[in-house]
Amino acid sequence: MKFKLVIAYDGGGYAGWQVQKIGVGVQELVERALTRLFPHAGRLHGSSRTDAGVHARGMVAHVEIPAAEFGMPARKLALALNAHLPEDIRVMSAEACPDDFHARFQAVGKQYRYFVWNHRAMNPLLRRQAWHVPAHLDIEAMRAAARRLVGRHDFRSFAANRNYEVEMTVRNLSRCDLRRSGALLTFVLEGDGFLYKMCRGIVGTLVQVGQHKLGVEEMDRILAERDRRVAGMTAPAHGLVLWQVNYARPGSGMPC
């Protein structure tokens, strides 16, 4: 039996989503909860990789469980798993899915949100979920710069280097919005895929546009140069949330 899980977690205490050689990944703890209930459960396959300190509201994963071991109504699976998980990790939903479903390879898009607290004093309730930027920011300049990033581009300038060469660095960014509610800024980034630390590179660069350290018109040059050194800073991990993962509706080709 194959199940689709939607998982939320506070990533502050973890070394990312994946099972790690050093440190604890969220995947490891969910797999441990699964095997406590179902000793021969398969490997948990996630839709994304989140880095150390990054949070998730809508991480999607799938797992196969032997039918002979699954002796509960499917609607109780999330509750049963949560009883074996720490409070900062929760399975928000669990449902049976088709045998050919794959959380990673069938995803058609992802949405990340990044939170900035733009006030002289940090909101202590958001100290683990938002980046504190006390300086005045030019919001309209940031929005204008964000619009220049929408579309299909090579985003190499915004991505951190891994210890191996990434062959394809072109991505389609369908949405790059900035919302303001009082002191809270919310960056919404949606696309067909993201490079390593790409969201944080974009947010850090846009914040520096808001500080007038970079100009709006420089976005085109930064994209064209394909060099991480020409873009702005990388925003801290704790402000980033994997908000949702989109899949095509059956027979429609449209995301759901």
Residues 68 and 92 in one domain: yes
Domain for residue 253, yes or no?
Answer: no
Domain boundary among 61, 96, 131: 96
Residue with tokens 């925003």, as numbered in its chain: 235
- pLDDT, position 218: 96
Domain for residue 27, yes or no?
Answer: yes
Domain boundary among 96, 116, 143: 96
- pLDDT, position 254: 44
Sequence-distant (≥ 6) Cβ neighbours of residue 71 within 8 angstroms: none
- pLDDT, position 130: 98
**For residue 211, with 0-12 CB atoms within 10 Å meaning exposed, 13-18 middle and 19 or more buried, which class applies?**
middle
Sequence-distant (≥ 6) Cβ neighbours of residue 91 within 8 angstroms: 5, 6, 7, 30, 77, 78, 81, 82, 85
As for how many domains the chain has, the answer is: 2
- pLDDT, position 72: 92
- pLDDT, position 166: 63
- pLDDT, position 22: 82
Domain for residue 254, yes or no?
Answer: no
**For residue 72, with 0-12 CB atoms within 10 Å meaning exposed, 13-18 middle and 19 or more buried, which class applies?**
exposed
Residues 183 and 234 in one domain: yes
Residues 36 and 65 in one domain: yes
Domain for residue 255, yes or no?
Answer: no
Q: What is the mean pLDDT of each run of 10 residues along the chain (256 residues)?
A: 97 92 92 97 94 96 96 94 98 96 96 98 97 98 98 96 74 97 98 96 98 97 96 97 89 48
- pLDDT, position 163: 62
Domain boundary among 44, 70, 96: 96
Domain for residue 171, yes or no?
Answer: yes
Token reading at 105: 């390879």
Indicate the Cα dihedral angle 125, 9, 29, 52, nearest 10°: -80
Query: Residues of 137-158 as b/e, b for ≥16 C-beta within 10 angstroms?
Result: beeebbbbbbebbbeebbbbbb
Catalytic residues: 51
The 3-state DSSP composition of the chain as helix, strand, coil percent (nearest 5) reads 25, 30, 45
Query: For residue 239, what are the domain limits?
Result: 108-247
